[in-house]
Chains A and B, each alone.
Chain A
Amino acid sequence: DTGVSQDPRHKITKRGQNVTFRCDPISEHNRLYWYRQTLGQGPEFLTYFQNEAQLEKSRLLSDRFSAERPKGSFSTLEIQRTEQGDSAMYLCASSPSGTGKKELFFGEGSRLTVL
């Protein structure tokens, strides 16, 4: 199947280290989204791409966070100098552009634990 794929599924790191997550969207989808979900909360929007262009970033995305989608296919989300408050599930989603259904298709998420 060609669902949204995220890697790694779980990352444990020490405070101050850098981490990178990768997302491979559904192949025909040109929109890609990153969300963050903390325990007991709903997903919160971080950023989204249309093809390789990053079109919107949330104020939640501090300057320690950077996301890229260099060729309009997979995307990476890097967190520099991690803090304990960064511990969360990072969800990637994709969707086709156009006037159709507004559904997002989510991956299984990458869980980050910062010690």
Chain B
Amino acid sequence: QKEVEQDPGPLSVPEGAIVSLNCTYSNSAFQYFMWYRQYSRKGPELLMYTYSSGNKEDGRFTAQVDKSSKYISLFIRDSQPSDSATYLCAMSYGAAGNKLTFGGGTRVLVKP
């Protein structure tokens, strides 16, 4: 079993809908939680960064972390065709090294 599990999708939604993504993890030592967006044949780019449990909002994006359930979520409001990409959750222990452990990614397609 992988340390971080993520539904691969694809997740297809109409433009303007709310996109809901999530990851579960098994290691309670993870403290830092991130969501990266990756367009086809490009490197991942950071979308959201959260430390420990709680919610964080940035524009159309909201990240939630529930450490008690070992569950993190990303919501995209008013989705746009330009949001079509693969979304990767990533987490870190925060110890020396900043090494990230990634989920497998969820492919999202926003249809105009």
Contacts and interface: CB of A to CB of B under 8 A. Distances in A.
Contacts of A93: 43
Contacts of B45: 106
On chain A, which size bracket covers the interface?
A: 20 to 34
A93 B44 CA distance: 10
A107 B92 CA distance: 19
Nearest to B91: A102
Contacts of B32: 102
Interface residues of B, number: 27
Interface in B68-90: 88, 90
B101 interface: yes
B74 to A, nearest CB: 14
Given A102-B94, A103-B34, A103-B49, A44 B102 contact: yes
A40 B101 contact: no
B102 A111 contact: no
Contact of B41 (A45, A104, A107, A111): A111
A93 B43 CA distance: 9
Main secondary structure of the interface of A (DSSP, over half): strand
Contacts of B8: 40
B99 A56 contact: yes
Contact of A48 (B34, B99, B104): B99
A109 B39 CA distance: 12
B43 A45 contact: no
Interface of B: 4, 6, 8, 32, 34, 36, 41-46, 49, 88, 90, 92, 94, 96-105
Given A55-B97, A102-B34, 20 more contacts: A33-B99, A40-B104, A41-B105, A43-B102, A45-B99, A45-B101, A50-B97, A56-B99, A89-B41, A91-B43, A91-B44, A95-B98, A102-B92, A102-B94, A103-B46, A104-B98, A106-B43, A109-B41, A109-B43, A111-B41
